[in-house]
């Protein structure tokens, strides 16, 4: 009886040990699977970030590579035209933005000054205001004592001077717009000449021989056209802004003559 009881106790202990070990194995497997999933997710995130960085770097590297493949002689010349053209264009944009004037407000101040203090008071107002419109008013008011006809002649003459100042630098932008594609086309011609020289030296036509010269030709052409398009946008903006300022100058000049005529009649 004692032996049977001892055997039963032994089998119970063995069963409990096996169950506990099985449970521990399951827990260990679940933990291992969870760690593996977390590590794989982290690896995927890291790999995606690395791929994004590689893509960003690849664009920059591609631009540099295409620049080098196009030949530093002509690609450098095209880049120089872009830098010089942008420098002049940006300077013109800033200058033109500072040349705009609130013409209605200026005319109102000039009218009040003429009514209260005469031409000297109006001159102080125009000299304190920047812009080509104020400069034209200043030249006209300085000759107000000589009559309306002299004021008109002075306004017209100085209007041409101010227009020349506004258009300063535009011929250089126009030159770079024409020069950049021409340099690109020159690179195209030289690249095609190199391709035909390679064909002549090899005595056979194969894509590998012609591809290099044609590639240089296309890259320089594309670079020149891109520079021309960019500078053309700035050029058209500057021309449009100058046209608007000139129109404003003409309208303001007519208004100034009317104000002077009104005040001259009022003083008589």
Count CB atoms within 10 A of the CB of residue 61: 11
Look at residues 38, 67, 96 and tell me which one is the last residue of a structural domain: 67
pLDDT for the residue numbered 252: 87
Q: Match 């995130």 to its residue by tokens.
A: 45
Domain that holds residue 75: 70-267
Specify whether 107 is located in the same domain as 202.
yes
Specify whether 112 is located in the same domain as 54.
no
Specify whether 258 is located in the same domain as 137.
yes
40-62 residue pLDDT tens:
544 454 344 444 444 455 767 76
3-28 residue pLDDT tens:
434 444 444 444 444 444 444 444 44
Number of domains in the chain: 2
Dist. CA 162–CA 21, nearest whole Å: 97
Count CB atoms within 10 A of the CB of residue 264: 13
CB 134, CB 126: distance < 8 Å: yes
Specify whether 15 is located in the same domain as 103.
no
Dist. CA 52–CA 177, nearest whole Å: 36
CB 119, CB 145: distance < 8 Å: yes
Specify whether 100 is located in the same domain as 194.
yes
Look at residues 39, 67, 95 and tell me which one is the last residue of a structural domain: 67
CB 170, CB 243: distance < 8 Å: no
Specify whether 146 is located in the same domain as 113.
yes
Helix, strand counts (H, E) of the chain: 7, 0
Specify whether 47 is located in the same domain as 74.
no
Low-confidence ranges of the chain (pLDDT < 50): 1-29, 31-32, 35-36, 39, 41-43, 45-55, 265-266, 268
């Amino acid at each position: 009886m004692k032996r049977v009881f001892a055997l039963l106790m032994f089998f119970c202990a063995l069963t409990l040990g096996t169950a506990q070990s099985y449970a521990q194995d399951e827990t260990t497997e679940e933990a291992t699977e969870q760690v593996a999933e977390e590590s794989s997710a982290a690896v995927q995130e890291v790999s995606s970030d690395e791929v994004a960085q590689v893509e960003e770097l690849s664009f920059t590297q591609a631009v540099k590579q295409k620049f080098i493949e196009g030949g530093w002689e002509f690609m450098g010349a095209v880049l120089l035209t872009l830098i010089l053209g942008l420098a002049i264009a940006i300077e013109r944009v800033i200058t033109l933005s500072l040349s705009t004037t609130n013409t209605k407000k200026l005319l109102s101040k000039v009218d009040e000054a003429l009514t209260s203090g005469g031409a000297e008071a109006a001159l102080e107002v125009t000299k304190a205001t920047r812009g080509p419109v104020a400069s034209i008013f200043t030249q006209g008011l300085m000759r107000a004592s000589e009559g309306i006809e002299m004021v008109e002649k002075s306004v017209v003459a100085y209007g041409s001077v101010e227009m020349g100042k506004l258009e300063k630098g535009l011929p250089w932008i126009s030159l770079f717009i024409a020069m950049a594609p021409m340099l690109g086309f020159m690179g195209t011609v030289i690249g095609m000449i190199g391709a035909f020289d390679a064909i002549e030296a090899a005595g056979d036509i194969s894509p590998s021989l012609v591809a290099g010269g044609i590639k240089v030709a296309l890259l320089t052409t594309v670079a020149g056209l891109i520079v021309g398009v960019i500078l053309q946008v700035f050029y058209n903006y500057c021309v449009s802004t100058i046209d608007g300022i000139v129109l404003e100058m003409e309208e303001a000049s007519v208004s100034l003559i009317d104000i002077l005529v009104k005040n001259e009649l009022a003083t008589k």
